[in-house]
Structure 1
């Protein structure tokens, strides 16, 4: 009788330890999934601010460089693409659209450099400074997001937490990454 009681007690302890372990792993996955969502929201905030700043920057440059309409059109189209991608929420499409906007902004900045009186304009300088600060914040937000995605994906793929992840249908998150063609430095010609 004593042996049976000890065996039952050992089995109960093992089951309790396993259940507590499963709860801990599940809660860890939930915490990481929420950090991924938070990271994405931080990127979204910064990209929205940049998209809101772009029309002001374009209008300021337009006043000085009226014959550079192709550059303005590309920036406007890239911004529209970024805003459209923001509504879908897919990180790959969003990264693609945002990289196109970044390239268009490089062309816009290069165009502005050809106009010394624009470079001296306080409004333009303020907008440039704001845009530069936003670009740094975006880079940090992307890095934070990708770091959290990496931790989340490793947790989902690793044994034994992959068992709990599979049971509760956790799916890997997508990285916010540039495609190879988006990494090409744009050519600026006057």
Structure 2
């Protein structure tokens, strides 16, 4: 097994070359900057010979870190909206007096929070969305799209503002259909007198 001085001997030989300002023996006679010239064509080499760029610098160029390349990280979030569970009638035991009611549609704006959608169902020509705050919204899809394609729920890519907007975001069904929402309306129950 080699002894410790034999292991560090090669490093000790390179140490005077690596120190800044250190000159090898006989370096006083070297001209500070010289250029290589070929006698035949008299062209100059772009490689200067000086103390700033010694001939052994390629040794340390191999150890230098490689040039970094630009890395782009993208994050994509897909929201899955599942079908609404079947609602049970909790007031089945007590039979209330029959009250005449009707469902009225009111405008609901152009955007809704996508995180507030709790479930979805198709009812006729509209896609009914049950919100987490107990509201019920009806979404009319663009021309040529059927709400029946979305009866098992849908997927949507989360936008930067986290909203589902009219004529901006696409809904993707599990069967492959892609549609935009044409309008939102809120379904409100009113008593008829």
User: Normalised by the size of structure 2, how large is the TM-score?
Assistant: 0.26
Query: When you count helix as a share of all residues, which structure comes out higher?
Result: 1
Higher CA-based Rg: 2
Higher strand share: 2
Q: What is the TM-score when the length of structure 1 is the normalising length?
A: 0.26
